[in-house]
Amino acid sequence: MKSSSPIGQKMLVGFLLVAMVSCFNPSDYEPIYSWSNVEINSEIKGSNRVEKVIAPYRVQLDSIMDEVIGYAAHDLTTEGDYESLLGIFVTKLLIEQSRSTFIRDVDVAIMNHKGGLRAPINKGDITLGEVYEMLPFENNVLLLEVPGEDLVEVVNFIAKSGRSMIWPASFEITDSGVQNIRIDGQEINPDETYTLSISDYLANGGGGFRMLKSLKRLDVEPVNMRDLIVLEIRQRTARGDSIKEELSNSVTVLTK
């Protein structure tokens, strides 16, 4: 980031000289540009004035965010096609925590793991601050009633965008669309209504999920998604469990 390549510079100079000649007039003036982006690194002497303003905020923040709330047995990231360890962790807990929080049957959960989860959980102690960095957004979790035929459309969108995960579901991606969709091992039933745990961001049509906007919402008080994640981690810690997940290989790609 520090410097531009000399070859690139020469090419640009040459390119613009050509452009210059084509519209050159002695009485005209034109600006001369140069650029030099500066990398902000630890070799730069920081501003004391700014540092003094930050300090009390940092103390207040660290006193809360440095609390260790659990332990990760391995790194959980959003890497992977169609599913990721972090995505599995979050969709699974969305179902479990929604069931206990809302006291409803919940069939499936969807999370936009790519884009919605902004930082990994690294192996080792998990601090509250790490969870904030993973999910900085003030998203609420709510429940949607999804007719089976609409859920098929949703799964097709998920397969196409590749940015969200649905759990517990398996399906096959073919050149002509998605086939053999199973919800918790059962073949999807277009006539059945499924209860979906999801963020208000996606339910409002975010992440491309426009088809969700018109669906009926269950009459439950939405809860902050990060609060549910923190609750899950604290509960596992209280049980003596760490955070660990395995890939499920629930999506099969059959495209040519």
Cα–Cα distance measured from residue 22 to residue 40, given in angstroms and rounded to the nearest whole number: 39
How far from each other are the two terminal CA atoms of the chain, in whole angstroms?
A: 39
41 binds another protein (CB under 8 A): yes
Cα–Cα distance measured from residue 34 to residue 20, given in angstroms and rounded to the nearest whole number: 16
Q: Which listed residue (99, 132, 147, 220) binds another protein by CB under 8 A? A: 132
87 binds another protein (CB under 8 A): no
Long-range contacts of 13-17 (CB under 8 A, 24+ apart): none
187 binds another protein (CB under 8 A): no
Cα–Cα distance measured from residue 90 to residue 229, given in angstroms and rounded to the nearest whole number: 7
- How many residues are present in the chain? 256
221 binds another protein (CB under 8 A): no
For the window 135-174, what string marks contact with another protein as x by the rule CB under 8 A? -xxxx-----------------------------------
204 binds another protein (CB under 8 A): yes
68 binds another protein (CB under 8 A): no
246 binds another protein (CB under 8 A): no
Work out the angle between the directed axes of helices 85-102 and 225-238 (0-180°, nearest 10): 90
Q: Which listed residue (153, 172, 192, 200) binds another protein by CB under 8 A? A: 200
SS3 241: coil
Q: Which is nearer to another protein, 38 or 103 (CB)?
A: 38
Cα–Cα distance measured from residue 222 to residue 138, given in angstroms and rounded to the nearest whole number: 12
Q: How far is CA 20 from CA 17, 27, 249, in A?
A: 5, 14, 58
Q: Which is nearer to another protein, 43 or 191 (CB)?
A: 43
54 binds another protein (CB under 8 A): yes
Q: Which is nearer to another protein, 125 or 184 (CB)?
A: 125
Q: Min. distance of Cβ 80 from another protein in angstroms?
A: 19
7 binds another protein (CB under 8 A): no
Q: Min. distance of Cβ 143 from another protein in angstroms?
A: 17
Q: Which is nearer to another protein, 71 or 201 (CB)?
A: 201
* Preceding peptide of 168 cis, ω within 30°: yes
Question: Phi first, then psi: what are they for 125, rounded to 5°?
Answer: -60, 140
Cα–Cα distance measured from residue 84 to residue 192, given in angstroms and rounded to the nearest whole number: 28
Report the interface residues with another protein, using CB under 8 A: 1-5, 8-9, 12-13, 15-17, 19-20, 22-51, 53-54, 57-58, 60-61, 64-65, 118, 122, 129, 132-133, 136-139, 200-201, 204-208, 210
